[in-house]
Amino acid sequence: MLTKFSDRLYADLNRDLNALTLEEDQLIKRYEKSIHACVKYLKKLKDFCKVNDPGTPAEEIQFFKHIKPKFKSQLIYYQSLLNLEIRRPIGDCSAISDYLKNEAKVLHHFFECNLSFYQYVRTQATYLDDYYFVRGNYDVYLDPDQCVIDFDPAFSTTHDHKLAQVLASEMLQEHLQSAVQRLHQKDTVMVTDMELRDFDWQQTKCGLIELIYCWHATEAFGKKNLKSIVKFIEKVFNVSLGNFYDTFDWLSSRPSPTTYIDEMKEAFLLRVQKRLK
């Protein structure tokens, strides 16, 4: 029961986070709203868990190793993004790149300090699960999270929070690497023709995703897969489309799935009519 409920709940969380990516262009506001969304869904998970408590050690391990950390890692990730954006220095690409690289070093230090646990997670080991992810255990030789003393004992183990930190750190590391790469490209690519500058996408992100799926369906770029087309369009138009799969599901459920394409068609036909007059 917990697994089915949590899967639906996590899908709803990702839907809301993706909607914020599409609707909120101001980064700090987006991260603030994302944090509140994560807190809301984590609380729903906690409330459900209290009523439907894991009854066996196997169920506890499933919940505290595979379910709760997914939700908690999203909260930690977006809180880290907010802190990152708030502290971002004002300056040229070089100064910002140095700032991001220094943040990456902080992450590397976290992984080094938790190397044994990180290796345990990465190798998908299970031999310590009874100590890490079953409530009530506190082995001082397994580097338990000291904060567990202040956590709700019915909703915490010694390592579920640390696992969430590992998952969030991996996402943040990928974010930092991509951000540094974009800065490097922006700093090294010199565009001499001013007419080619600032070709940012000005319409809705949903509209762009409509077009991408059309291009993919009609093989406008040949046999390229959908993900590679999305990455190319994001780079060309300087836009982040988030979880475009969830967006497509949402578009498909609308009364008119092709709102932007229909708008384009009307605008094109109007242009044709004006030319024929």
DSSP structural state of residue 78: H
Confidence of residue 204 (pLDDT cuts 50, 70, 90): confident
Cα angle 86, 31, 111 (rounded to 5 degrees) comes to 75
Smallest Cα–Cα separation from 173: which of 84, 113, 240?
Answer: 84
Tokens of 29: 């506001």
At 114-168, the pLDDT tens digits run 999 999 999 999 999 999 999 988 888 788 877 666 678 889 999 999 999 999 9
Question: In this model, does residue 188 exceed pLDDT 70?
Answer: no
The pLDDT tens digits of the residues spanning 57-95 come to 999 999 999 999 999 999 999 999 999 999 999 888 888
The DSSP letter of residue 202 is -
Cα-based distances in Å from 158 to 61, 150, 182? 12, 11, 38
Torsion of CA 212, 214, 218, 224, to 10 degrees: 20
pLDDT per position as a tens digit, 267-277: 888 888 888 76
Q: Residue 5, Cβ neighbours under 10 Å: how many?
A: 15
Q: How much of the chain exceeds pLDDT 90, in percent? A: 48
Q: Could you identify the residue written with the tokens 């709700």?
A: 152
Mean pLDDT of the region 219-237: 87
Q: Which residue, 73, 74, 84, 244, is CA-closest to 180?
A: 84
174 vs 189, residue with greater confidence:
174
Paired tokens of 32: 């603030």
Residue 172: how many other CB atoms lie within 10 Å: 22
Tokens 């890692």 label which residue?
73
What is the predicted pLDDT for the residue at 196?
55
Average pLDDT, whole number, for the chain? 87
The residue extents of the domains of the chain are 2-188, 194-276
> Under a CB-based contact definition with an 8 Å cutoff, are residues 159 and 144 in contact?
yes
User: Where does the pLDDT of residue 193 fall: very low under 50, low under 70, confident under 90, or very high at 90 and above?
Assistant: low
Residue with tokens 């993004």: 81
Residues 6+ apart with CB under 8 A from 72: 42, 160, 161, 164, 168
Q: Residues 204, 23: contact at Cβ < 8 Å?
A: no
